[in-house]
Chain A
Amino acid sequence: MKIGVLAVQGDFAAHGRVLQQLGVPWCEVRHPEQLSEISGLILPGGESTTMLKFLFEEGFLEPLQDFARRGGAFFGTCAGAILLAREVTNPRQPSLGLLDISVQRNAYGRQINSFVDRALSSAFGPPPLEMVYIRAPIITRVGPGVDVLAEHGGHPVLVEQGRCLAATFHPELTEDRRVHQRFLQLVEAASAR
């Protein structure tokens, strides 16, 4: 099992460090052909507009849909969650549509409204998850097949649908590994089938 981290820009190295710590083989992904070597793809935090343009220009869109159809698993944090969503607003922009959620970008405001929160997740139980929100999006709608695993202020912040996991915060910027471990379980379950 090998995990890819989309390495256009953003905090892909932070995800890499987590995978390293967990002893999982991983690689930085910058070319669509690399998707055939991995079982799960992490879309990191960063600027979703920059990553989106890259995915268009470097011909990633079809290969990513193929990867999903072949049973590939996805984990998006912040910008990554925006890329995975079905619908994106503020402003409206295209997305991969692999996860049935609607997302509003920069929904808490600008950087001065970024914050750290600690909250329990139904997926893990105590202790609370430490959640770092940086110019974070808000999930404004979840489709019927989507499980909400954690919330903040009445909005879902950690959601899962099939082999797709997304957080509006940054577990890669904390020492808590439970969210990444959950993603690895999704990847393993998918590979076992």
Chain B
Amino acid sequence: MIMDDLFRVKVGLAEMLKGGVIMDVTNAEQARIAEEAGAVAVMALERVPADIRAQGGVARMASIKRIREIMEAVSIPVMAKVRIGHFVEAQILQELGVDFIDESEVLTPADEEHHIDKHRFKVPFVCGARDLGEALRRIGEGAAMIRTKGEAGSGNIVEAVRHLRSVMDAIRRLTVLPKEELMAESKRLGAPYELVQWVAEHGRLPVPNFAAGGIATPADAALCMQLGAEAVFVGSGIFKSEDPARRARAIVKAVTYYNDPKMLLEASEELGEPMRGLDVSRLAKEELLQTRGW
């Protein structure tokens, strides 16, 4: 796999975010609340996924004015989303100087066949994945971080758990397969053979593996960490809850102490109401965001 200096500094930033919480924010004030609560980065958005879902229409890259306002408000890294395959939105965000680009299924896809060639950019990319094959295809295209897709804006952790288990199980499986079976496995996964070999040898993804999509409580965040995620994204879960600042601090604490039930209890007390969740199994197929991406 490509491990030149450029790719190493891209993955390097992802390494620095491990064990942290990346929070969706839609303005400078929310960004400051997130930073104050201990977020390691913010995702600058026009609308959080729950509102994108409720309002419908085409969801595009956020306005430059809004992203810039957020970049000026905080000293932590700022991420922003582009539509799947929309490499010009990505060129614009790189020019603006955002620290990480999320090629995201939460926005309306611009290309129904191809993702962005992320190796051509200096700025690192994160991409969503539901299984190992999808994760390795994105890494093959140059993603420096993988996150589960989960089901964004649902406030329901079930899909993130499914995706995390799927990726982790497939990694464990690769580590015990005899070498001669790796080619057929790579064909089955739809993943580049050299990356399949890498994972089989190392027992992990070659880039950090984060969780996203439906995290609403400190317990949700710690569940993802115990299942093998190395950090979490919280989208609608914070600013759609009753007391965002308190919930944000609690989720940060839960990720640091993800393996310590005593501290998790402390983090879970007196949080106010979480966001209202959706039963994902009752969503119509065309309402699912996770099926976007190829």
- A residues neighboring B (CB under 8 Å): 7-14, 30, 45-47, 49-50, 53-54, 78-79, 90-91, 105-106, 109-112, 114-116, 132-135, 170, 173
Contact A54 B38, CB 8 Å, known A90-B75, A114-B9, A134-B13: yes
Stretch at the interface among B15-23, B46-54, B186-194: B15-23
Task: Flag B219-243 by CB within 8 Å of A: 1 or 0 each.
Answer: 0000000000001000000000000
Instruction: Classify chain B: how many residues form its interface, as a range.
Output: 20 to 34
Q: Is the CB of A46 within 8 A of B97?
A: no
Complex contact A8–B19 (CB within 8 A): yes
CA–CA, A115 to B7, complex, Å?
Answer: 10
- Whether the Cβ atoms of B9 and A53 lie closer than 8 Å is no
Are A54 and B256 neighbours in the complex by a CB distance under 8 Å?
yes
A residues near B41, Cβ cutoff 8 Å: 47
A7 touching B99 in the complex, CB below 8 Å, given contacts A47-B76, A115-B5:
no
Query: Are A7 and B16 in touch, CB under 8 angstroms?
Result: no
Chain B's nearest CB lies how many Å from the CB of A110? 5
Question: Could you show 15 A-B contacts with beta carbons less than 8 Å apart?
Answer: A7-B256, A8-B256, A10-B19, A13-B18, A46-B19, A47-B41, A50-B39, A50-B76, A105-B75, A110-B99, A112-B122, A115-B5, A134-B13, A135-B99, A173-B12
- B215 → A minimal CB distance (Å): 16
Asked whether, in the complex, the Cβ of B19 is within 8 Å of the Cβ of A132, the reply is no
Q: How far is the CB of B206 from chain A (nearest CB, A)?
A: 14
Distance in angstroms between the alpha carbons of A109 and B77 in the assembled complex = 11
The complex places the Cα of A61 from the Cα of B209 at a distance, in Å, of: 32
Say which residue of A7, A45, A54, A109 sits within 8 Å of B15 (CB atoms).
Answer: A45
Among B12, B20, B77, B260, the most chain A Cβ lie within 10 Å of the Cβ of B12
Supply 10 further A-B pairs (C-beta < 8 A) apart from A9-B20, A10-B18, A50-B39: A9-B231, A9-B255, A10-B15, A10-B19, A45-B15, A46-B18, A49-B35, A110-B77, A111-B9, A134-B12
Main secondary structure, interface of A, reads loop
Residues of A within 8 A of B25 (CB): none
B interface residues (Cβ-Cβ under 8 A, vs A): 5, 8-9, 12-13, 15-20, 35-36, 38-41, 75-77, 94, 97-100, 122-124, 231, 252, 255-257, 260
Closest A residue to B230 by beta carbon equals A13
CB distance from B64 to the nearest CB of A (A): 15
* In the complex, chain B residues whose CB is within 8 Å of the CB of A90: 75
Interface centre among B19, B35, B76, B99 (most CB of A within 10 A): B19
In the complex, what residue of chain B is closest to A173 when comparing beta carbons?
B12
**In the complex, which of the residues A11, A106, A112, A134 contacts B94, with contact meaning CB atoms closer than 8 Å?**
A112
How many angstroms from the CA of A158 to the CA of B13 in the assembled complex? 20
Checking B16, B124, B255, B256 against A47 with a beta-carbon cut-off of 8 angstroms, the contacting residue is B16
Q: How distant is the Cα of A90 from the Cα of B97 in the complex, in angstroms?
A: 17
Chain A neighbourhood of B35, CB < 8 A:
49
* 10 closest Cβ pairs, A-B complex: A9-B19, A111-B99, A116-B5, A9-B20, A114-B9, A11-B15, A134-B12, A47-B40, A110-B97, A50-B38
Q: Nearest chain B CB to A53's CB is how many angstroms away? A: 5
Min Cβ gap A80→B in Å is 11
Known: A9-B40, A50-B40, A54-B38. A79 touches B257 (CB 8 A): no
User: What is the bound-complex CA distance between A10 and B38, given in angstroms?
Assistant: 12
**B8 to A11, Cβ gap below 8 A?**
no
